[in-house]
Amino acid sequence: AQKITQTQPGMFVQEKEAVTLDCTYDTSDQSYGLFWYKQPSSGEMIFLIYQGSYDEQNATEGRYSLNFQKARKSANLVISASQLGDSAMYFCAMREGRASGTYKYIFGTGTRLKVLA
Amino acid sequence: DAMVIQNPRYQVTQFGKPVTLSCSQTLNHNVMYWYQQKSSQAPKLLFHYYDKDFNNEADTPDNFQSRRPNTSFCFLDIRSPGLGDAAMYLCATSTRDNSYNEQFFGPGTRLTVL
């Protein structure tokens, strides 16, 4: 069964330093997508970055990059130059196709990141 | 700006008293999702609509129902809320026309059951 695993319940990072949030996944599908979302205390889920299973290059979006290692089934999020506003819950998610023609998204249990001044 | 709107942001109800949560979108996406998220947990998919086609998750309790009267609106009805239904309820949309097919989330409705 498809599954997302985030093994770090909480992480601390000093402001302006880089941090890596771990994500491993399990799927038998050949075509899938991997996402990272940020959820501040307000509750809204904010899309950060996407990696497709056929993409050969690691995705980057500003200070966010995704370290995609397909053979190891890992999709770690790297945040460079951490800012106080990066303190939030971070979820890794995977998109899988369904017979109905829509997609289902499976979420990991999240990592709570705290950026220290 | 195109967005996903949820009303109310905070809802308090009494044990067993029906409650309806609302979601609307201006993105014109054909897929809408409802998630339940309890404190410090991952969002759990309750059901989703692909246009008017309703797709229920196998483990979604019968106490939860949904309606989608048109493309823009989707409602979550909790017929007899229990204390265990207290959670954040997230609405999301997506479309297969986007290259990433990412989900766009509303701000959520935090439900308290007294």
Residue B1: pLDDT band by 50, 70, 90 thresholds? Answer: low
Q: B38-79: per-residue pLDDT in tens?
A: 988 899 999 999 889 898 988 999 999 999 999 999 999 999
CB contact under 8 A, B106 and A44: yes
Percentage of chain A surpassing pLDDT 70? 96
pLDDT score of B98 more than 70: no
pLDDT at B5: 95
Q: Which of A50, A52, A108 sits opposite B42 (nearest CB)?
A: A108
Residue A99: pLDDT band by 50, 70, 90 thresholds? Answer: low
pLDDT at A2: 81
Best interface-test mutation with A: which of B104, B105, B109, B112 has the largest number of A CBs within 10 A? Answer: B105
A28 touches B at CB < 8 Å: no
pLDDT at B96: 72
pLDDT at B99: 64
How many other C-beta atoms lie within 10 A of the C-beta of residue B4?
22
8 A C-beta contact, residue A59 and residue A66: yes
| Residue range B98-114: mean pLDDT, rounded | 88
What's the mean pLDDT when you consider all of chain A?
A: 92
pLDDT score of B27 more than 70: yes
Alpha carbon of A74: minimum distance to chain B alpha carbons (Å): 18
Q: Which of A43, A91, A108 sits opposite B110 (nearest CB)?
A: A43
Percentage of chain B surpassing pLDDT 70? 96
Q: Alpha-carbon distance B110 to B35, whole Å?
A: 12
CB contact under 8 A, B31 and A109: no
pLDDT at B97: 66
Residues on chain A touching B105 (C-beta within 8 angstroms): 37, 44-47
Helix/strand/coil percentages in chain B, nearest 5: 5, 50, 45
**Closest listed residue to residue A96, CA positions, set A9, A11, A15, A30:** A30
A85 compared with B101, residue with greater pLDDT: A85
What's the mean pLDDT when you consider all of chain B?
A: 92
pLDDT score of A43 more than 90: no
8 A C-beta contact, residue A29 and residue A103: no
Q: Which of A43, A101, A105 sits opposite B108 (nearest CB)?
A: A43
B103 touches A at CB < 8 Å: yes
B51 touches A at CB < 8 Å: no
